[in-house]
């Protein structure tokens, strides 16, 4: 079975450019998460969707970040405009949890973003 | 504010011996704890979990121990194998979707 799929795996862009990260969750999972991993802050939750609806976006750092989930099999995380401090590894994860509950989260391979 | 702390950034152990990874947490509301394992260029993968109603959970070579009074948990790997070389993350939640992760411990198993 395919796991969580993320694209691109690596992204190098210049400051001020728009960046879009993509995620395909595991089929049948109804919860989707976006995380960011940095040396300073470790792994932190950016946003949580359940049944395609954003439930918790309190981790989104600022208005430059936005996330969408137009259907059960696709989500995007967009940064516009990007800044060098956005350089990090961004992970998407999915789980079969119902809203608010806990279940094992399965992570994708991540997108390594470098903003010059 | 780090609510989950892994104070040892690295651990080196000989193949066949026991690896012990430690994790401390500050939030007494946490009641579900997990360990994830991560290889380079891959995402974290779930390893083992424990609910606060238990003090031990075992799965093959992996055992997690929970000491609620000390707000401390540990992961034991016995025996350690070369394939266990990875970064291990401790995570905690209030039995909901929100996981708080530690900074990770890099384990190196020497042949």
**DSSP, residue by residue, B48-77:** EEEETT-SEEEETTEEEEEETTTTEEEEEE
pLDDT at B28 over 70: yes
pLDDT for residue B101: 95
Please indicate whether residue A46 or residue A97 has the higher confidence score (pLDDT): A46
What radius of gyration, in Å, describes the C-alpha atoms of chain B? 13
Record: contact B98-A56, CB cut-off 8 A: yes
Q: Could you read off the pLDDT of B32-76 as tens digits, one per residue?
A: 999 999 999 999 999 999 999 999 999 999 999 999 999 999 999
Question: Which residues are within 8 A (CB) of B82 and not within 5 positions of it... i.e. 6 or more apart?
Answer: B15, B109, B111
pLDDT at A66 over 70: yes
pLDDT for residue A60: 95
Q: A77 has which bridge partners?
A: A21, A67
pLDDT for residue B37: 97
Length of chain A: 116
Q: Could you read off the pLDDT of B93-106 as tens digits, one per residue?
A: 997 889 999 999 99
A70 and A58 Cβ atoms separated by less than 8 Å: no
Record: contact B97-A101, CB cut-off 8 A: yes
pLDDT for residue B74: 98
B62 and B77 Cβ atoms separated by less than 8 Å: yes
Percentage of residues of chain A with pLDDT beyond 90:
86
Instruction: Report the SS3 class of residue A13.
Output: strand
B99 interfaces chain A, CB cutoff of 8 Å: yes
What radius of gyration, in Å, describes the C-alpha atoms of chain A? 13
pLDDT at A92 over 80: yes
A45 interfaces chain B, CB cutoff of 8 Å: yes
Q: What is the mean pLDDT of residues A32-37?
A: 97
Confidence of residue A100 (pLDDT cuts 50, 70, 90): low
Closest by CA to A90, choosing from A28, A26, A20, is A20
Per-residue tokens: A45: 């939750």
B48 interfaces chain A, CB cutoff of 8 Å: no
A111 and A6 Cβ atoms separated by less than 8 Å: yes
Record: contact B42-A109, CB cut-off 8 A: yes
A102 interfaces chain B, CB cutoff of 8 Å: yes
Nearest CA of chain B to the CA of A54: how many Å? Answer: 13
Q: What is the mean pLDDT of residues B27-33?
A: 94
CA-CA-CA-CA torsion sign (A15, B41, A98, A21): positive
Closest by CA to B100, choosing from B23, B17, B48, is B23
pLDDT for residue A1: 64
């Amino acid at each position: 079975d395919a796991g969580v799929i993320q694209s691109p795996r690596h992204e190098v862009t210049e400051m001020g450019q728009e960046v879009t990260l993509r995620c395909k969750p595991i089929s049948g999972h109804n919860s989707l998460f976006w995380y960011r991993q940095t040396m300073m802050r470790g792994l932190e939750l950016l946003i949580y969707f359940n049944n395609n609806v954003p439930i918790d976006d309190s981790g989104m750092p600022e208005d430059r970040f936005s996330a969408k989930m137009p259907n059960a099999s696709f989500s995007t995380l967009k940064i516009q405009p990007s800044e060098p401090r956005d350089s990090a590894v961004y992970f998407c994860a999915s789980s079969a949890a119902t809203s608010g509950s806990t279940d094992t989260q399965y992570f994708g391979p991540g997108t390594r973003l470098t903003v010059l | 504010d780090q609510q989950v702390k892994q104070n040892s950034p690295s651990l080196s152990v000989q193949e066949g011996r026991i690896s012990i990874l430690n994790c401390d947490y500050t939030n007494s509301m946490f009641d579900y704890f997990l360990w994830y394992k991560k290889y380079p260029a891959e995402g974290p993968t779930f390893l083992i979990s424990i609910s606060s109603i238990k003090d031990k959970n075992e799965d093959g070579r992996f055992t997690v121990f929970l000491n609620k009074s000390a707000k401390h948990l540990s992961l034991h790997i016995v025996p350690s194998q070369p394939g266990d070389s990875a970064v291990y993350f401790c995570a905690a939640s209030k039995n909901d979707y929100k996981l708080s992760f530690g900074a990770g411990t890099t384990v190196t198993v020497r042949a």
